[in-house]
Chains A and B, each alone.
Chain A
């Protein structure tokens, strides 16, 4: 390939330069260009890297074709263009934006309410053995309860208002963050704790300067899993316990057999989840720069 020939040329010129006359500035420049090309080649084809994020679009194109050709039943799988039409209508009417904002605000508030205690308790149980022995069984036994199953109870306690949605998202998010933080903290090599102690760090300082950063990569795994979980939980909750939000949009379309409206809801949730994960990926690269990606 072209890269190879360039590399060979550079190698040859470098070899000539070895014992004989000194390397000229032009040689250096050539070697630098070759090296840059080699580094680019190692990172993988730019074509694949650029096209990667758009592969879901390909899926849509196939779907459109199958739907138009009548291979897919248009009653259940309306063509993407039909869905887009509904999408635009909903967007113009303002209903979609209102639903999106509703769902997002429920997720955001619930997420914060669940993530903060999850991380703090994870740090505590991960680093203090006695507390872990006492309390881990409690959380482990609560974990397998389907969060949606306790929603009716939450509706009784908190009513049909927003609080019940915040709480159910928070409960779901809590477990992801709690278990991931705890296992991250428990894997901290003792040497790092020794380093901190030898430098005179107090117990709390050790948790904040050693356990927390060590657990950050696994905390981020928890955050990503929790995001997926939060969308599932909020959609299910809005099916039955709300008069707004994307879950409500999907559920109410079912009762009126407005299939393309239903798809608008589904695709919007998918897009929001994708966006949220992308945002978290960005934050992760910023906050955990010492891990190689």
Chain B
């Protein structure tokens, strides 16, 4: 069975202005994320891509359609998702604590994960004492501690500076290649999408529809700096930008 399977998904919210109207956030979205596949959902802000992730995570209910995941998904949230009242190690241990994993097993697993994301030295620090990049590493480690087969990531690196982002992308790929989870990664960045994904799903401006799926031909493991020298990198960047631009143009020609 596939990692994530979304079929005919619609999501609407009550309109703030008119009681009888609804605001459609997602329009007939269907997509599959295969086992051990890395899929990026690329779209402009406000296109409903985060809503798609929240529904897949079980935080919101679909209005119509179904979403199935292989197991309860682990989620890496946007920045500020780590608890400020817990240390780095305690944040990573959080899902284990909820499941009442015994202390010794918990410690061992946390140590392993901190090692994996390079935060061993910062285990006892509070989120307010470390950098944004370290906070997101903590967030990634916490999602890995949860240890589902499905990993959902909601623009986890969006708030980081370029260099930190690239470094974390490379690390994410390294970690993912070791764990081989099914990943659904939400982003608004063309570069990020084609750097990370096996397949990029392009979404339209609101209401969010899928306008294209683009296979990314780069192999694994990837060196994301070297990737930028590959002539296909420019080709795909161009193709994705055209898809996004075409959608924006259509939006402008036919205003609501």
Contacts and interface: CB of A to CB of B under 8 A. Distances in A.
Interface of A: 189, 191-192, 194-201, 205, 209-210, 213-214, 216, 288-290, 292
Contacts, number: 58
A209 B94 contact: yes
A271 to B, nearest CB: 33
Contact of A195 (B58, B73, B83): B83
Classify the interface of chain B: helix, strand, loop or mixed: loop
A200 B99 contact: yes
A200 B95 contact: yes
B58 A198 contact: yes
A209 B86 CA distance: 10
Interface size class of B (residues with CB under 8 A): 20 to 34
Given A198-B57, A214-B85, A292-B128, A209 B77 contact: no
Contact of B59 (A198, A210, A289): A198
Interface of B: 54, 57-59, 72-75, 77-78, 80-81, 83-86, 94-95, 97-99, 126-128, 142, 146
Contacts of B58: 197-198
Contact of A216 (B73, B85, B99, B128): B85
A134 to B, nearest CB: 24
A288 B98 CA distance: 21
Contact of B84 (A194, A209, A290): A290
A214 B84 CA distance: 9
Nearest to A216: B85
A199 B95 CA distance: 6
Given A198-B74, A200-B99, A189 B94 contact: no
A210 B98 CA distance: 12
A194 B77 CA distance: 9
Contact of B98 (A191, A199, A213): A199
A191 B79 CA distance: 10
B98 A209 contact: yes
Nearest to A210: B83
Contacts of B99: 200
Contacts of B98: 196, 199-201, 205, 209
Contact of A199 (B84, B86, B146): B146
